[in-house]
Amino acid sequence: QWERAARGTDGRTYPWGDEFDKEKCNTTDESGIGKTTRVTLYPNGISPDGCYDMAGNVWEWTTSSEGEFRVLRGGSWGGNHGFARCADRFRVSPNVRYFTAGFRCARAEK
The sheet that has 59-66: what strands, in order across it?
A: 90-92, 69-73, 59-66, 101-102
3-state secondary structure of 14: strand
Least confident of 10-14, 15-19, 61-65: 61-65
* CA nearest neighbour of 24 among 33, 36, 15: 15
Task: Tell me how far apart the alpha carbons of residues 2 and 87 are, in angstroms, rounded to a whole number.
Answer: 10
Residue 107 has pLDDT above 90, yes or no: no
Amino acid at 68: E
User: What is the number of domains present in the chain?
Assistant: 1
Which domain covers residue 49, as residue numbers?
2-58+74-88
Determine the average pLDDT of the residues in 21-40: 88
Residue 67 has pLDDT above 90, yes or no: no
Residues whose CB falls within 8 Å of the CB of residue 95, separated by 6 or more in sequence, listed in order? none
Q: Confirm whether 43 is domain-assigned.
A: yes
Q: Confirm whether 40 is domain-assigned.
A: yes
pLDDT > 70: percent of the chain = 97
Q: Confirm whether 69 is domain-assigned.
A: no
What pTM value is reported for the model? 0.88
Per-residue pLDDT at 100:
92
Helices (H), 22-84: 28-31
